[in-house]
Amino acid sequence: MSDVTYIDAIHAALDEAMERDPDVFLYGQDIGKFGGAFKATKGLQEKYPGRVLDAPISEDAMAGVAIGAAIEGARPVLEMQFADFSSVAFNQIINQAATHYYRTGVPVPLTMRLPSGGTPGSGPFHSQSMEAIYSHYPGLVVVTPATVADAHSMLLDSIAMNDPVIYCEHKFLYRWLKSENLSGDRLPIGKARITRPGKHATVVTYSAMVHEAVRAAEMLYKDGGWEIEVVDLRSVKPLDTDTIIASVARTGRLLALGEAFPWGGVTAEVVSRVCADGFHLLDAPPVRLNSKDTPIPYHPKLWSSHRPTPESIAEELRKLLDY
């Protein structure tokens, strides 16, 4: 069998979820006959007539419709064409979907897929990472799969979940990331994974940055035999603090790495929780590495310096190891 890509895994999970449960339906812009901007829903409208619905360019109403359908017992999977555009749907997601179970006791089983993160040439409005913003709100689950198997199993788990899930899929991984098949360890949502074991420092990261972290770890291993542990958060809300703390206990050093903007966010949360719960485990001040604090630039030369790279990650790790 030929390789399975990350976007294939998403497509397969949507197909399986629809096959398994007649209450699952897909809603989003251009997802019907056209198959979606990234072809995540290619062929599904033909296969499941009436259950793959093209939406008008109305992200706020799309989210509202998905919420209403979920309250009524359906399992909508909402595709935002780009994570960036979910800002238009923000009100419905954080005020309606996130608060609904706490207020009324009626859950909102919707999944919102956010094609996230940067790719060369995409610019400020097709590159954003929104996971931190959604994670801020109680009631939302936010997942950030980094592997082909996770893209598959976590999407199935998201759709099966009775609470609203923000599923952040990284566009850079869509066609670049391949695997022999879809099978994996099927860790549940809420559990982080040690992607690469090590003993000298821990990199806590998620989504596409897991792969950049592994590259940096390889560079440092070749460089001086440094063994860097890479923790893939998998879900950023809930955050698996236990796995993070256990890793820091082994290594004594922490680099929190993310592709999102530097103010606040997932990396700040990781560092603050490690400092509060595992300060005594640290042999060096924890370090954060994020994108630069500017909008995401269009030109590939600017873009590739805006986000962390294996080189910039390795440089931060060297400083951390030298401390």
Partner 1 sequence: MDDNPKDLDQSSERSHVRRVFHAMLTARILENKLGSLYKAGKIVGGVYLGKGQEAVSASMAACLEKGRDVYAPLIRDQAGRTAFGEEILDCTRTYLGSVKGPMRGRDGNIHRGRPAEGMLAMISHLGAAIPVIAGMLLAKRLKGELDGVVGATCVGDGCTSTGAFHEGLNTAAVEKLPLILTVANNQYAYSTPNDRQFACHDLVDKALGYGVRGHSVDGTDMLACIKVMQEAVTRAREGDGPQLVVASMLRLTGHGEHDDGSYVAAALKSSGLGRDSIEVGMKQLIEGGFATVEEIEQWQQEAADQVQQAVAIAQKEDDPDPFKDDWMAYSNPEMQMQR
Sheet holding 52-54, edge to edge: 52-54, 24-28, 75-79, 111-116, 165-170, 141-143, 235-237
Window 263 to 322, contacts with partner 1 (CB under 8 A) = none
Nearer to partner 1, 50 or 225 (CB): 50
Q: Measure the CA dihedral 49/171/241/249, to 10°.
A: 140
- Among residues 3, 20, 43, 95, the one that binds partner 1 under rule CB under 8 A: 95
Q: How far is CA 40 from the centre of its chain?
A: 16
Cα gap 213→192, rounded to integer Å: 15
As given in the structure block, the two tokens for residue 148 are 């082909």
Window 160 to 179, contacts with partner 1 (CB under 8 A) = 161-163
Handedness of CA 206, 209, 211, 215 (dihedral sign): negative
Q: Does 68 contact partner 1 by CB under 8 A?
A: yes
Alpha-carbon radius of gyration of the chain: 19
- Among residues 35, 40, 82, 100, the one that binds partner 1 under rule CB under 8 A: 100
Nearer to partner 1, 7 or 69 (CB): 69
- Among residues 14, 40, 52, 189, the one that binds partner 1 under rule CB under 8 A: 189
Contact range with partner 1 by CB under 8 A, out of 113-121, 182-190, 226-234, 248-256: 182-190
Compute the least distance from the CB of residue 195 to partner 1, in Å: 22
Q: What is the amino acid identity at position 269? A: E
Q: Does 31 contact partner 1 by CB under 8 A?
A: no
Contact range with partner 1 by CB under 8 A, out of 9-17, 187-195, 244-252, 309-317: 187-195
* CA atoms in the 13 A half-sphere facing the CB of 210: 23
- Among residues 29, 92, 195, 207, the one that binds partner 1 under rule CB under 8 A: 92
Contact range with partner 1 by CB under 8 A, out of 159-167, 204-212, 242-250, 252-260: 159-167
Give every CB contact of residue 300 below 8 A, 6+ residues apart in sequence. 120, 121
Whether 280 sits among the annotated catalytic residues: the reply is: no
If you count them, how many residues does the chain have? 323
Rounded to the nearest 10 degrees, the angle between the axes of helix 6-20 and helix 148-160 is 30
- Among residues 2, 49, 56, 222, the one that binds partner 1 under rule CB under 8 A: 56
Compute the least distance from the CB of residue 219 to partner 1, in Å: 34
Q: Which of 126, 200, 211, 306 is catalytic?
A: 126
Cα gap 24→40, rounded to integer Å: 15
Nearer to partner 1, 57 or 302 (CB): 57
Cα gap 165→23, rounded to integer Å: 16
Contact range with partner 1 by CB under 8 A, out of 79-87, 178-186, 237-245, 309-317: 237-245
Catalytic residues: 126
Chain residues binding partner 1 by CB under 8 A are 23, 25, 50-51, 53, 55-56, 58-74, 76, 88, 91-92, 95-96, 98-104, 106-107, 138-139, 141, 161-163, 188-190, 237-239
